[in-house]
């Protein structure tokens, strides 16, 4: 019966999904056209990825061409020998292939806090002069996460800023906020990262939180300085809302549930494999279509990209269980789901815009956005609170019910003080009984092989959980999480002199794992959260 259900279910929604997100236009900067790698390199891109010239699909799309790209394409087109060895040699002749840079993150016997302070300069990149390969130029210096992540990342940067703030690096924070403002003004939104292959999607909208960090250092006028950019970001997430109706309930990132009830989802403007994970996406789409013949590969790609926009790429949050009762990536259906964290972040964006208008002396505009925030708060409490689970859960709008996946996204309503006191107590109980592990909070209790599931814990979600619990005076539990997380970070550092992207919080003798690539060293948001928590 399950196989029949899934086939019918996917057939019923795939046509809608194909038109749910509009395509983005090619963007030009000066006289140079910014193109994703599949358009920039043509057949060379597909041959490199399909023939597995590099173990990591991201390596080639980050490579820097040593010659004019048009010339490289023409020479490759005329290349007679296209064996993997020949292609590899061709790429090495014509591109500067990026390394991981991991060795440079090692240190001497410095304390962990000193190590992190030194790492800011290691992870810092100068302002970019021009378009180079797939890198989108930024006008100011910035911090990258580290390892294979050689560019700025949107939501990572907020948590990185927490550490920069603790270390007094206010100028760097200002530069980074200005870079994001530049991206909004140039493209109308903040891409996943400053790469051409990220121009179809964003990431969790933390820009308003970044403005708040900078305002804490430079004063309330900062809110007014970035008001226009916050409004533009809001318009990006709400695009298509005016076109929604009972007969047309979804457009891009907005979904209408009841009359005038509008909430948001993650989406992506392109239904193709992600260039930086090309082989992985093609494999997943092939498996999904084989299991559900009425589904299209384009639908799978859209859902994979939407999962990437969430920052949780990937997690059981976005999956169904397969016929064997296991969460499996080929069941991914991210665009069916209204995420509790995204809508909590947009509530905060509405509140922050209202505050900016107040600082600017525009009371009617402020009241308008206060009303939007209050309406969203009511919807969050209506649709995301699960009475059965006593926890905030994502909502599947196609099935008209909450998903069955417990995750730390359920702490965002506490982080932004949306939850009632009674709800917060129930959430705290669930955190202590389900999520709290020897090394801190596990992302979900599900073991799926995906990196945003058990046994992994991530720095940003520790911060969300700790601060959210403190907002409701759950201080003892918050401090227990903090102490376990910091101790795990210290223990790993003591043995490796590394700060990692994610950690195994269930078995402290083992490394983290899962996902599409090995655990990375560096690491921006881990550094930021550690500095902030240890500096309290």
Say if residues 481 and 466 touch (Cβ distance below 8 Å).
Answer: yes
Enter the tokens of residue 233: 């970001």
Please state, in angstroms and rounded to a whole number, the distance separating the CA atoms of residues 34 and 232.
Answer: 21
- Is 313 considered catalytic here? yes
Cis peptide bond prior to 314, omega within 30° of 0: yes
Which of 62, 151, 313, 516 is labelled catalytic? 313
Closest CA to 524 of 122, 215, 192: 122
Tokens for 283, please give them: 């494999």
Contact 430, 406 (CB under 8 A): yes
The token pair that represents 161 in the structure block:
């800023």
Query: b vs e for 472-497, b when ≥16 Cβ sit within 10 Å of the residue's Cβ?
Result: bebeebbebbbebbbebbeebbeeeb
> Is 501 annotated as catalytic?
yes
Tell me 431's DSSP state: I
**Residues 6+ away with beta carbon under 8 Å from 495:** none
Closest by alpha carbon to 499, among 510, 509, 514, 488? 488
501, 506, 516, 521: the active-site residue: 501
Query: Coil, strand or helix: which one is 303?
Result: helix
- Alpha-carbon distance of 392 to 382, in angstroms, equals 10
Number of C-beta neighbours around residue 52 at 10 A: 10
Nearest to 270 by CA among 235, 309, 317: 309
Catalytic residue numbers?
313, 501
């Amino acid at each position: 019966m399950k196989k029949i259900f899934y086939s019918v279910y996917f057939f019923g929604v795939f046509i809608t999904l194909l038109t749910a997100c509009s395509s983005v236009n090619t963007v030009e900067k000066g006289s140079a056209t910014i193109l994703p790698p599949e358009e920039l390199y043509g057949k060379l891109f597909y041959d490199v990825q399909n023939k597995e010239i590099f173990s990591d699909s991201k390596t080639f799309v980050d490579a820097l061409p040593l010659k004019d790209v048009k010339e490289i394409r023409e020479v490759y087109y005329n290349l007679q020998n296209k064996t993997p060895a020949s292609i590899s040699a061709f790429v090495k002749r014509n591109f500067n292939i990026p390394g991981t840079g991991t060795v440079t993150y090692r240190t001497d016997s410095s304390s962990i806090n000193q190590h992190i302070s030194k790492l800011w300069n290691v992870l810092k990149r100068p302002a970019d002069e021009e378009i180079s390969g797939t890198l989108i130029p930024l006008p100011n210096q910035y911090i990258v996460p580290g390892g294979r992540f050689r560019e700025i990342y949107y939501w990572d940067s907020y948590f990185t800023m927490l550490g920069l703030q603790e270390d007094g690096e206010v100028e760097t924070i200002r530069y980074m906020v200005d870079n994001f403002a530049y991206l909004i003004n140039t493209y109308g939104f903040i891409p996943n990262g400053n790469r051409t292959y990220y121009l179809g999607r964003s990431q969790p909208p933390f820009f308003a939180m970044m403005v708040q960090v900078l305002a804490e250092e430079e004063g309330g006028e900062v809110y007014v300085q970035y008001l226009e950019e916050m409004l533009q970001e809001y318009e990006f997430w709400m695009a298509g809302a005016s076109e929604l109706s009972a007969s047309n309930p979804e457009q891009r990132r907005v979904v209408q549930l009841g009359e005038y009830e509008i909430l948001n989802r993650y989406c992506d403007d392109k239904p193709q494999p992600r260039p930086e994970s090309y082989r992985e996406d093609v494999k997943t789409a092939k498996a999904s279509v084989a299991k559900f013949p009425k589904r299209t590969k384009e639908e799978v790609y859209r859902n994979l990209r939407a999962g990437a926009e969430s920052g949780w790429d990937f997690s059981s949050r976005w999956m169904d269980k397969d016929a064997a009762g296991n969460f499996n990536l080929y069941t991914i259906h991210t665009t069916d789901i209204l995420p509790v964290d995204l809508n909590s972040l947009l509530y905060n964006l509405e509140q922050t815009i209202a505050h900016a208008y107040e600082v600017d002396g525009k009371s009617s505009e402020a009241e308008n956005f206060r009303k939007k925030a209050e309406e969203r708060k009511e919807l969050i409490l209506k649709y995301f609170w699960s009475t059965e689970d006593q926890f905030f859960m994502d909502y599947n709008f196609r099935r008209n019910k909450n998903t069955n996946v417990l995750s730390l996204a359920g702490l965002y309503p506490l982080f932004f003080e949306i939850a009632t006191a009674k709800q917060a107590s129930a959430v705290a109980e669930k955190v202590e009984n389900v999520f709290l592990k020897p090394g801190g909070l596990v992302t979900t209790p599900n073991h799926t092989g995906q990196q945003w599931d058990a046994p992994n814990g991530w720095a940003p979600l520790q911060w969300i959980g700790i601060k959210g619990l403190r907002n409701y005076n759950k201080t003892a539990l918050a401090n227990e999480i903090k102490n376990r997380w910091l101790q795990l970070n210290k223990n790993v550092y003591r043995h490796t002199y590394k700060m990692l992207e994610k950690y195994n919080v269930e078995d402290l003798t083992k490394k983290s794992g899962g996902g599409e690539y090995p655990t990375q060293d560096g690491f921006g948001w881990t550094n930021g959260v550690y500095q902030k928590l240890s500096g309290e």
